[in-house]
């Protein structure tokens, strides 16, 4: 019998390799340590950023981890987890100006109910969850596109209380170069904010979007949201034809464009042709300057109806297709004589966007008064 001391050592020894040798061959694996079995240093960080739970591993001069806690990964200079900033769902925008007090309960309800337009304002509106707030900044506040891009980045960096999106007001002919430079910098220096920022595209009956193509293309390539300002005036609509059908045809062309006028058809085709992930949405003008006829709620409803019934973009208003419906410019009391206009907007939104009803809610616009 073996001595007790030797029996104790055998009992504590690790099991050898259980692989069997081929007949006639010796199995010496139990006598040889695996070649890669170096001692483990428990004080060293895991070798990969992913092993620590990070999703971003970048060089030391990158901005991709700004504002986030860094993880001590051995394989990269900066490791962090950017999943605290989930990519926003598609949205449209209710704009208010500066320090205006929010007084539009029905429009506010659309934002706070979940899937309706976000509140877009320079400062976070009281009582609105930051995830329902889009911060509005003006392109003309900045001397260069690079400064504009840096401002977008700075607004989004804080982990707590940052806006869900930043929206730039606005892309037009005199801001084209500045917005274009910002789009290029966002795509190359701040790619982590793809989907978290965007621009408003200028309104105008004769605006040809093709004239803004350099910036539009770079915005699309950067994944920027583009919210299109389409503000027909009620008086212009009524003057566009002697029948409701003729007036509706004018409004549909105002939205969609034509072979001579690049509008929403052109923009959507441009996005799809470039394989862009940019979200497209639309703003309806709701102030007195555009609702300048009798019973503005009729015309407001007609804008919803013509978009759904007479354009190729009804899916952008259909909740079942991921649509978000229109936003609005702008809800502020100095520009509104009708304090119930937000309720009219709410009711039309529920009819065309939520219920996806194809028929007109309010009927034809009375242009005889």
**Residue 35 pLDDT:** 38
Render pLDDT for 81-95 as a digit per residue (tens, 0 to 9).
Answer: 998 888 888 899 999
**Residue 42 pLDDT:** 57
Most confidently modeled range among 18-27, 65-74, 121-130, 305-314:
305-314
* Local confidence band at 26 (pLDDT 50, 70, 90 cut-offs): very low
| CB hemisphere CA count around 213 (13 angstroms) | 8
Render pLDDT for 186-234 as a digit per residue (tens, 0 to 9).
Answer: 999 999 999 999 999 999 989 999 999 999 999 999 999 999 999 999 9
Tell me which of 65-69, 151-155, 250-254 is least confident.
65-69
Render pLDDT for 228-269 as a digit per residue (tens, 0 to 9).
Answer: 999 999 999 999 999 999 999 999 999 999 999 999 999 999
Tokens of 335: 């520009």
**Residue 16 pLDDT:** 35
> Domains (ranges, CATH) in the chain?
42-84 (no CATH), 93-354 (3.20.20)
Are 130 and 85 in contact by the 8 Å Cβ rule? The answer is no
| pLDDT above 90 as % of the chain | 70
- Mean pLDDT for the chain overall: 87
**Residue 31 pLDDT:** 41
**Residue 236 pLDDT:** 97
- 35/245 Cα distance (integer angstroms): 82
Beta bridge partners of 197: 166
């Amino acid at each position: 019998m073996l001595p007790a001391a030797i029996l104790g050592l055998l009992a504590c020894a690790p099991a050898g390799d259980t692989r069997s040798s081929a007949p006639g061959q010796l199995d010496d694996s139990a006598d040889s340590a695996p070649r890669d079995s170096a001692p483990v240093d428990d004080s060293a960080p895991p070798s990969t950023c992913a092993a620590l739970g990070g999703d971003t591993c970048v060089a030391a001069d990158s901005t991709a981890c700004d504002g986030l806690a860094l993880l001590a990964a051995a394989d990269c200079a900066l490791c962090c987890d950017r999943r605290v900033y989930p990519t926003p769902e598609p949205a449209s925008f209710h704009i208010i100006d500066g320090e205006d007090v929010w007084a539009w309960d029905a429009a506010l309800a659309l934002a706070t109910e979940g899937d309706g337009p976000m509140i877009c304002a320079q400062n976070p509106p009281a009582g609105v969850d930051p995830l329902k707030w889009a911060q509005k900044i003006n392109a003309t506040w900045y001397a260069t596109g690079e400064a504009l891009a840096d401002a977008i980045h700075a607004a989004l960096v804080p982990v707590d209380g940052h806006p869900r999106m930043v929206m730039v007001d606005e892309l037009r002919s005199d801001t084209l170069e500045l917005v274009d430079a910002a789009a290029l910098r966002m795509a190359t220096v701040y790619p982590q904010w793809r989907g978290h920022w965007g621009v408003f595209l200028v309104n105008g009956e004769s605006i040809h979007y093709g004239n803004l193509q350099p910036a539009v293309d770079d915005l699309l390539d950067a994944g920027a949201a583009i919210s299109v300002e389409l503000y027909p005036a009620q008086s212009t609509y009524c003057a566009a034809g002697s029948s409701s059908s003729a007036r509706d045809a004018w409004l549909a062309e105002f939205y969609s464009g034509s072979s001579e006028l690049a509008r929403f058809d052109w923009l959507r085709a441009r996005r799809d042709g470039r394989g862009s992930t940019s979200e497209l949405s639309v703003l309806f003008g709701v102030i007195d300057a555009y609702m300048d006829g009798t019973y503005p709620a009729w015309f407001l409803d007609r804008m919803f109806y013509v978009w759904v019934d007479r354009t190729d973009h009804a899916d952008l208003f259909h909740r079942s297709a991921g649509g978000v419906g229109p936003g609005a410019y702008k809800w502020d009391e100095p520009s509104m004589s009708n304090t119930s206009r937000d309720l009219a907007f709410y009711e039309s939104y529920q009819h065309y966007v939520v219920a996806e009803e194809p028929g007109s809610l309010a009927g034809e616009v009375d242009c005889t008064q």
